[in-house]
């Protein structure tokens, strides 16, 4: 973490036009389906109204997001989703975010989990991520069961708990 992290975070958030009370959820990685973007979108619709009205989910990674944008539209949360595409400013996005979501269906390692923890972000991931144990060991977020139908509901609850 840079010594001037608080000032840098504020500067980056202002540069991305984020309001002070916006809760920025970040997902990073390609292969959106495997990384659990559908679960994350569903969790947005399950958030309490007071939290949902100040949340944004930004997704950095290279993949076709059209099906996920349609899912968000169908669930009434499309205004909360921004698919950014491939980015070269991921560290700045992490410094601007409030938590990293990684509700993957499968993930061999999940290096992004470690990157987010180094950037000071709480992480919510599924237990199928190879590095999920570091989240537990260092109390840096929550790890959810990865292969059940309730992941989106558990993710929404974890977001609300951390927020």
DSSP letters for the chain:
--TTHHHHHHHHHHHTT--TT-EEEEEE-S-HHHHTHHHHHHHHHHS-HHHHTTEEEEEESSS--HHHHHHHHHHT-GGGEEEEES-S-HHHHHHH-SEEEE--S-BS--HHHHHHHHTT--EEEETTBTTHHHHHHTT-EEEE-SSSTTHHHHHHHHHHHH-
pLDDT value at residue 75: 98
pLDDT value at residue 111: 92
pLDDT value at residue 2: 77
pLDDT value at residue 140: 95
> What is the mean pLDDT for each group of 10 consecutive residues in the chain (163 residues)?
86 92 96 96 97 97 96 98 95 94 93 92 95 94 87 96 95
pLDDT value at residue 125: 96
């Amino acid at each position: 973490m840079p010594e001037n992290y608080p000032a840098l975070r504020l500067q980056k958030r202002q540069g991305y036009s984020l309001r002070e009370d916006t809760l920025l959820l970040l997902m990073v990685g390609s292969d959106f389906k495997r990384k659990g973007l559908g679960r994350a979108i569903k969790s947005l619709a399950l958030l309490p109204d007071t939290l949902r009205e100040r949340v944004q989910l930004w997704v950095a990674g290279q993949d076709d997001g059209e099906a996920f944008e349609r899912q968000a539209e169908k669930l009434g949360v499309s205004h909360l989703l921004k698919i950014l595409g491939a980015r070269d400013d991921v560290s700045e996005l992490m410094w601007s975010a409030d938590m990293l979501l990684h509700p993957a269906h499968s993930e061999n390692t999940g290096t992004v989990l470690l990157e987010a923890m180094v950037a000071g972000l709480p992480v919510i991931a599924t237990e199928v991520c190879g590095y999920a144990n570091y989240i537990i060991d260092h109390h840096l977020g929550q790890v959810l069961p990865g292969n059940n139908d309730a992941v989106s509901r558990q993710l929404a609850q974890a977001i609300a708990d951390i927020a």
